[in-house]
A = this chain, B = another copy of it.
Amino acid sequence: MSRTEPAVPPPPDRARVQEAAWWLSGRVVRTPVLNSPVIDRLAGARVLLKAENLQAGGSYKMRGAMLAVGRLAAAGHGGVVAQSTGNHAVAVALAARRHGLTATVVLPADAAQTKVARARAAGAEVVVAGTTLDERVATARQISETRGHPLIDAYDHPDVIAGQGSASLELIEEAERVGSPLDALVVPVGGAGGVAGACLAAAGTTIQVYGVEPVGCDSLARSLAAGRPTPVAPAPTIADGLRPTCVGELPFAIARDAIRGVVRVDDDQIADAFRLLLMELKVLVEPSGAAGLAGALRLAASLGDDVVDRPGAGPEGGRREEYRTVGVVLTGGNVEAELVARLATRQLADLTSVEEVAA
């Protein structure tokens, strides 16, 4: 690599998330915090939803990507490389274009086509590599070395964690501003960058942070139990963004002592949450993003089977039934039209019908 000025971001902490939020102000969308009486009634708590599906690029990944690419651009790099199941690739592509850098993004063969199209539309070179994380990482590393362009990891990266954490920080601050401070904060987990950022954003407060994982894609829950990053062979799920084989080293190091627990949700619960968000909140959220609300609804229902507390973070850490206000980060909204049509007309399976609930 010919560059003599490597850009090394500092290790992330709460101050770093605050700096990230400050730097990103005006560079990304200040997304609204939404709520719905019907969702509140279903949850038995006030649920404040940070609509990062309305973010530039369609997901909160834009935050970390802007921060990381901005730092590399300032250090004089001419291009960047990224691999992801989709949204991080779209975000890096857009962030690179905004900073005048080239972007090469490595996506799996089974990526959502809307994400592939969006990355291409943002001017990135799209490389398709197998269906597993290992295949993508190997390809991305090779491209990075050949071209001398740094690789921006989708979650194992301080800027990405701090950037994603700024969404949680804005939600925490907005909840305080409207007089409903958060008791709990729920974030979907893929590689755990977002939930690690949430842990940093909530550091020093009494807010309990939960991750949400699809059943069978529970690397974080297994990692917390084992005390180290533990891979899984991801099971099929409609939440295409939540399928990484293993949580990242750095996100795990942050979350392991800070997170309260993990909620497991199945596809039916994700689909119900998707439809609630669409028909009641009137926003389009991809299944990976809807998983956050699905988790919040399970959490509120206090169904012990679904919620796994981190070892050492027992009920003494605050009883769930006392949560008055729960924050949820709706992480993204990039979804295929065909899936929207299929999920929109699906009946609410195990939730009372909306009309009854609204009555």
Chain A positions within 8 Å of B, measured between CB atoms, are 32, 34, 53-54, 58, 114, 117-118, 120-123, 275, 278-279, 281-285, 333, 337-338, 340-342, 344-345, 354-355, 358-359
- A32 and B282 CA atoms in complex are apart in Å by 13
Q: Is the CB of A337 within 8 A of B284?
A: no
Q: Identify A32's interface contact among B32, B118, B275, B354, CB under 8 A.
A: B32
Q: Is the CB of A122 within 8 A of B358?
A: yes
Taking the full assembly, how many copies of this chain does it contain?
2
Q: Is the CB of A345 within 8 A of B341?
A: yes
With A34-B54, A283-B283, A284-B283: A278-B120 Cβ-Cβ less than 8 Å: no
Q: Is the CB of B355 within 8 A of A121?
A: yes
Instruction: Write the chain B residue with the least CB distance to A30.
Output: B32
Q: Identify A333's interface contact among B282, B341, B344, B345, CB under 8 A.
A: B282
Residues of B within 8 A of A114 (CB): 279
- A283 and B122 CA atoms in complex are apart in Å by 22
- A282 and B121 CA atoms in complex are apart in Å by 18
CB<8 Å pairs between A and B, sample of 12: A32-B54, A53-B282, A117-B354, A117-B355, A120-B359, A121-B359, A278-B284, A282-B285, A337-B344, A340-B345, A341-B341, A341-B342
**A2 shortest CB reach to chain B, Å:** 31
- A69 and B359 CA atoms in complex are apart in Å by 20
A123-B359, A282-B283, A337-B344 known; 6 new pairs, CB 8 Å cut-off, are A118-B355, A121-B359, A282-B284, A282-B333, A283-B284, A340-B341
